[in-house]
């Protein structure tokens, strides 16, 4: 990334000796390449390697904000460290934090790259894990998203039957039903009355308030930007780490500020990824599928937002 590198090189060296800006604490750092999050691989200590794992409970959290500063492992004195000679293919690690140390001074850019301040190396999701590599325009392996850690919820014990859900994932009667293109007989629905990470979202016949499955069609959303949350749960509508045409809709644990969970409900009744070009879309030509305790009528996906496309209209 020539422009980025030149920008970083031009930063005054005095920045390294100035007080550090406050860091946003307890953040996941998620790779654009594989959707996984930075994870310290072992007991934190000098030289402990950093890899990536699925984002969730137990995943490492970091103190990081846009701009210049340390990338600190939350609650510790260890920081992301590029080594004494940052260059291509150096595996990522942590080391005791030393404010102002060049190999620990990172600049988190507005286009979501984490680069050595005053250098030309970026944090890069390589084929074997996180590493430093020359900042390169268009290299999506060098894009990293940050978002807050998971919300702690109180749950009751669950039974061994797979059809049961915990108290934290059993929908309540809050929220609204979402109808495709003004069809009040059809609703956006969590599949098979079972809410969990990755569960499909599709179109089913709307249930009456007295139905035990009514809650799996109740969504909390507002006009403008925000999450589309399954009422009474900690699950949100999720477009996947790389929203594009044909990605099936699903739910996932809510993470405030996560790109793929931040939707914009427009005044003309479209639900679009905020800052993106994908809309929630009923899959054209999809067919009914049986299921227990209920099946689906049509599938739902993300698709390029298109003027006049009635597959992308959602009403309450």
Closest CA to 258 of 234, 236, 233: 236
Q: Is the pLDDT of residue 163 over 60?
A: no
What does each C-alpha distance from 65 to 9, 24, 26, 148 come to in angstroms?
20, 5, 11, 12
Angstrom distance (rounded) from CA 289 to CA 204 = 10
- What does the pLDDT look like over 264-281, one tens digit per residue? 999 999 999 999 999 999
Write the CB contacts of 167 (distance below 8 Å, at least 6 apart in sequence): 154, 155, 156
Q: CA end-to-end span of the chain, whole Å?
A: 45
pLDDT band at 124 (very low <50, low <70, confident <90, very high): very high
Q: How far apart are CA 274 and CA 225, in angstroms?
A: 7
More confident residue, 284 or 56: 284
**pLDDT surpasses 70 at 145:** yes
Residue 246 has pLDDT above 70, yes or no: yes
CA angle 232, 233, 235 (to 5 degrees): 140
Query: What would the two tokens of residue 126 be?
Result: 């390589």
Q: Residue 44 — φ and ψ, nearest 5°?
A: -55, 130
**In the chain, pLDDT over 70 holds for what percent of residues?**
84
Domain pair 2-148 / 168-315, same fold: yes
* SS3 assignment for 236-278: EEECCCCCCCCEECEEEECCCCCHHHCEEECCCCCEEECCCCE
Supply angle C-alpha 260, 300, 195, rounded to 5.
70
CATH topology of domain 168-315: Trefoil (Acidic Fibroblast Growth Factor, subunit A) (2.80.10)
Biggest CA-to-CA distance, the chain: 66
User: Taking the CA of residue 105 as centre, how many other CA atoms within 13 Å lie in the half-sphere pointing to its CB?
Assistant: 24
Domain boundaries in the chain? 2-148, 168-315
Pick the CATH number of 2-148 from 3.40.50.150, 3.40.50.170, 2.80.10.50, 1.10.150.80: 2.80.10.50
Chain centroid to Cα 241, Å, comes to 6
**How many Cβ atoms sit within 10 Å of the Cβ of residue 6?**
11
Nearest Cα neighbor of 207 from 97, 311, 293, 111 is 293
Whole-number pLDDT of residue 134:
97
Q: Per residue in 91-100, pLDDT tens?
A: 999 999 998 8
């Amino acid at each position: 990334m020539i422009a980025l590198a030149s920008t970083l090189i031009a930063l005054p060296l005095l920045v390294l000796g100035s007080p550090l800006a406050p860091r946003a604490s307890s953040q996941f750092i998620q790779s654009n390449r594989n959707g996984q999050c930075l994870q310290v691989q072992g007991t934190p200590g000098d030289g402990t390697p950093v890899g990536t794992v699925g984002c969730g409970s137990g995943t490492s959290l970091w103190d990081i904000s846009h701009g210049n500063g340390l990338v600190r492992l939350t609650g510790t004195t260890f920081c992301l460290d590029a080594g004494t000679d940052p260059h291509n293919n150096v595996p990522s690690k942590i080391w005791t934090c030393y404010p102002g140390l060049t190999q620990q001074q990172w600049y988190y850019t507005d286009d979501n790259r984490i680069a050595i301040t005053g250098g030309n190396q970026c944090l890069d999701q390589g084929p074997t894990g996180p590493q430093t590599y020359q900042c390169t325009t268009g290299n999506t392996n060098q894009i990293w998203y940050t978002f807050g850690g998971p919300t702690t919820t109180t749950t009751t014990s669950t039974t061994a039957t797979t059809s049961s859900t915990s108290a934290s994932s059993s929908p309540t009667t809050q929220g609204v039903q979402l109808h495709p293109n003004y069809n009040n007989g059809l609703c956006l629905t969590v599949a098979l009355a079972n809410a969990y990470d990755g569960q499909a979202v599709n179109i089913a016949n709307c249930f009456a308030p007295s139905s035990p499955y009514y809650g799996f069609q109740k969504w909390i959303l507002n006009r403008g930007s925000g999450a589309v949350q399954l009422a009474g749960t900690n699950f949100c509508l999720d477009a996947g780490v790389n929203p594009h045409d044909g990605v099936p809709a699903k739910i996932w644990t809510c993470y405030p500020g996560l790109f793929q969970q931040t939707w914009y409900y427009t005044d003309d009744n479209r639900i679009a990824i905020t800052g993106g070009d994908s809309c929630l879309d009923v899959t054209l030509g999809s067919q009914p599928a049986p299921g227990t305790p209920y099946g689906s009528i049509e599938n739902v996906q993300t698709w390029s937002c298109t003027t006049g496309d009635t597959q992308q209209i959602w009403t309450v």
